[in-house]
Amino acid sequence: MTSKQQNRGLVKQGKNDAAVVNLPYPKLRDDYILVKTIAVALNPADWQDLEEQDLKPGSAPLLIGCDFSGIVEEIGAKVSKDLKIGDRVMGCVHGTNVDNHEDGAFAEHITAKGDITMRIPPNLSFTAAATLPSGVATAALALYRHLALPLLPETVAGSPWILVYGGSSASGSIAIQFAKLSGLKVVTTCSPRNFDFVHGLGADAVFDYRDPDCTKQIRDLTSDTLTLVLDTIATPSTAEISTQAMSSSKGGIYCNLMGVDSPRKDVKAVFFLGYTGLGEPYTFSGEEWPVVPEDYELVKKVVALSEGLLREGKIKPHPAAVRAGGLEGILGGLEDLKSKKISGEKLVYVIGKEE
């Protein structure tokens, strides 16, 4: 590939300032692959990062976006995964990365960590595949690292309960499916319009989080034995519901994605960022985070497992709402995501053509 090859991407130029611009073709690092992007999916982190004031001097423009699907164009010398040029792949990257401005997904050609990239099975389209990678990485770290479940194909003895708060979210829907495969009984929360959706994923019970009796209903259902919670929404109010639903005598682990404290002293709050699964140091909200090798190795294992589970139909992608507009349309999607207009589906934009 030459530096003359065309590339365009959606970049952050400053706080709440983004635009589609011409970009250099990304550099190939030894443990990375280069990808021709076909589709991308939107995550809350995309608009949240755009609002942050954490640009380092000289770091702009920063490529936005985390989830992608596409076609392998080049493979780095230290990639150990058995990938080939032309493979259909999906993956997640660190969008709006102040430490490396090439690490986002919203561009025609991108770079991604090779060993945590997933091959797309024949039964999945590029648009469906784009909804999956961040959810898989989140489920991997939440369930098999921080909630200490045994890694598949091992399962949990005794079928204990887990609460997945926000089961109709993209991360929640994937977590429900992995939890069921791991032998747990799943209770979840969402809006009534999404009840059928989460039941279809395998949830054993679902409650309306707006119901004032929600906490009591979950405690009654689980006979006051609930000790495992993954909160994918992670606000003070969701933390209150989640922890009050947990066992009154045993406490447990409250795992969340936004650093929310536990309202109960006997419940341990665990916060993590999915970026640790990428195997790179990074900066978040001005704080430097080191590499966590065990997180990277775990995500590699779960990615490998997921390829088979997807091929066999044991894991289903989150519903995709495919919108027109390409790269230029993404900003409107981010506004809708920020305004909470999206429920039970993930916004996807096609930005490349399969040749």
Q: Where do the CATH 3.90.180.10 domains begin and end in the chain?
A: 7-131+317-350
Q: Where do the CATH 3.40.50.720 domains begin and end in the chain?
A: 136-275
Q: Is the dihedral of CA 65, 66, 72, 76 positive or negative?
A: positive
Which CATH number does the domain 7-131+317-350 belong to among 3.90.180.10, 3.30.1310.10, 3.40.190.10, 3.40.50.300? 3.90.180.10
Profile the chain (355 residues) by mean pLDDT over runs of 10 residues.
73 92 95 98 93 69 96 98 98 93 96 97 97 96 97 96 96 97 98 96 97 97 98 95 97 93 96 91 86 96 97 96 97 94 94 87
Which CATH number does the domain 136-275 belong to among 2.70.98.60, 1.20.1430.10, 3.40.50.720, 3.40.1010.10? 3.40.50.720
C-alpha gyration radius of the chain: 20
- Residue type (1 letter), 124: L
DSSP 290-319: ---HHHHHHHHHHHHHHHHHHHTTSS-PPP
CA-to-CA distance for 118 and 338, rounded, in angstroms?
A: 28
Half-sphere exposure of 176 (CA within 13 A, CB side): 29
Q: What digits encode the pLDDT tens for the residues 307-350? A: 999 999 999 999 999 999 999 999 999 999 999 899 899 999 99
Res 57: pLDDT: 66
Specify the residue for token string 């650093």: 259
Cα dihedral angle (12, 15, 17, 20), rounded to 10 degrees?
A: 0
Identify the DSSP state of 276.
G
b/e sequence 158-172, b meaning 16+ C-beta within 10 Å: eeebbbbbbbbbbbb
Six-digit token string for 241 = 């519901």
Q: What digits encode the pLDDT tens for the residues 64-102? A: 999 999 999 999 999 999 999 999 999 999 999 988 889
